[in-house]
Structure 1
């Protein structure tokens, strides 16, 4: 990760109103966006030099393309990353981690059937893969297959009940799967946890134990450097946007998803899914526009 000078741009945040009234946001906290580091640029140059060498073993070449794909992906160069991953898979199809990354990318693109197949391949090759069940559960959630998403997300949570993000994704799916029980289940899982990870602040915000203003102000005031600030704001704004989207306050959700993207934390699932959410909201608006037009005639 890049280590940049700590800075907060416009740290005051003002929230007023509730879900039924417009929300006023003034000067939300922002981090200096991530930029390609010197180390990353050197890594790319070294890989290019290695690829010029003759007679590289096929398995080694597959690893090199995979590593370069990860590097391109971390820089937000998704198309270059996909090209590298495809080359790597052609050379060595026995790569569960690569299938997992491919599934995440397919999810971001809204290609859910391809995502399911990729995660299935990961789990066929590595049944105990640490992230494939969560990522497949998220893809199933976006594919509106909430019962199947629960089948992945619930066992994943049970493997580590102290991971707040496992609890959060279960809650997001529960809002669709068992909406009347979602809040009480979230409360139960919070009580059972050790509450040590910073991510539990997101759960506290969802439970109403802290206000949205407290939540975002805490991120700005407790982050030790710009890297930590960028990471936490990416998460914080995404999960805040989820809340407003559930309330059908799409204008505020769009603004928050854009703020989640502003730190350039390309590797975070919250950055990837912010792009997906924005595309889905805009597509829904475009599809609704002709209907509204016909009603006005």
Structure 2
């Protein structure tokens, strides 16, 4: 996905020289794996098994990010910074905490950054994402509205406000924001996907027609288009998973792809009433440890919705 969704790169005037460090791990899947080698990394490809049995080893903490945390903390404690500079460093550290899954520490830095620089747009954006992920939608909407007030053309605020509306059950509002996000770049397949999910809640038949009209032109990301092909039943679960393995250059890219694949398989399974299969897919998405991807963020929201649905059915 090339970090396309919760791409919270805060456009800060900070640069750090970090050596690239990749931790090689083995992706594990049952029975008769074929092994492919790329860039001295090994990725194991499973044999003919159900897609939900393809397992991947969780990503370890990114050492580059851990080093960056140390550097940012050193700057905060030792450098002479004015309020604006300190706010920017705090926001950068908040983004780094978030990337590593340290959500509470991220929130602390976001709030401190806003106190120091009340017009720091990306701090409000990050705050909205935090609240939305936790299901605190009133706070999320307030934060995203602040972003729009300060920077109406922000790249991702309409996507993220749309996600908050979607998971809060406000599908008309979600579709409006997803439409705005889609028309900014119709070639991005992931914009098509979320526009489709919201539209499906309002008019399922029209949504199916719409996604079939849009997906052939949404070719800005080959992997994302493969997910779109899966959603329109042009490829199977097994084919999608195999594409994730065969198209990945290293373990990190594989985990990124599987985080997405499992999530969207969960969405399909849930739509088909296969609640327990859907639960497993969302748990598999979480198991990748790709904390910065929206699929990882909202897998827990999907799990909570499914558990509530299962409880209701059992009553």
Pairwise same-fold verdict (TM > 0.5): yes
CA, structure 1 residues 188+266, in 2 after alignment: closer, same or farther (shift >3 Å)? same
- Name the counterpart of 1:142: 167
Contiguous gaps of at least 5 residues in structure 1: 16-23, 293-297
Query: Which is further off, 125-134 or 34-43?
Result: 34-43
Contact 1:140 1:148 in 2 (8 A): yes
- Name the counterpart of 1:133: 158
Match for 2:144 among 116, 119, 130? 119
- Name the counterpart of 1:7: 26
CA distance in 2, matches of 1:43, 1:153: 33
CA distance in 1, matches of 2:118, 2:306: 35
- State yes or no: 1:27 paired with 2:46: no
Query: Shift of residue 246 of structure 1?
Result: 1.2
CA, structure 1 residues 140+13, in 2 after alignment: closer, same or farther (shift >3 Å)? farther
CA distance in 2, matches of 1:46, 1:59: 18
- Name the counterpart of 1:264: 289
Query: Shift of residue 282 of structure 1?
Result: 2.8
TM-score by length of 1: 0.88
Query: Which is further off, 96-105 or 223-232?
Result: 96-105
Contact 1:2 1:227 in 2 (8 A): no
Q: For each residue in 1:32-64, what CA deviation from the matched residue of structure 2 results, as whole angstroms up to 9, or x when unmatched?
A: 322223322222222222222375311111112
- Name the counterpart of 1:295: none
TM-score by length of 2: 0.83
Contact 1:234 1:260 in 2 (8 A): yes
CA distance in 1, matches of 2:48, 2:70: 45
Query: Shift of residue 283 of structure 1?
Result: 4.0
CA distance in 1, matches of 2:52, 2:286: 18
- Name the counterpart of 1:56: 81
CA distance in 2, matches of 1:111, 1:155: 23
Query: Shift of residue 195 of structure 1?
Result: 6.1
- Name the counterpart of 1:156: 181
- State yes or no: 1:245 paired with 2:298: no
Q: For each residue in 1:125-157, what CA deviation from the matched residue of structure 2 results, as whole angstroms up to 9, or x when unmatched?
A: 111101001111111111111111111111211
Contiguous gaps of at least 5 residues in structure 2: 1-19, 30-44
Contact 2:189 2:221 in 1 (8 A): no
CA, structure 1 residues 194+278, in 2 after alignment: closer, same or farther (shift >3 Å)? closer
Query: Shift of residue 70 of structure 1?
Result: 0.8
- Name the counterpart of 1:211: 236
Aligned residues: 281
- Name the counterpart of 1:39: 64
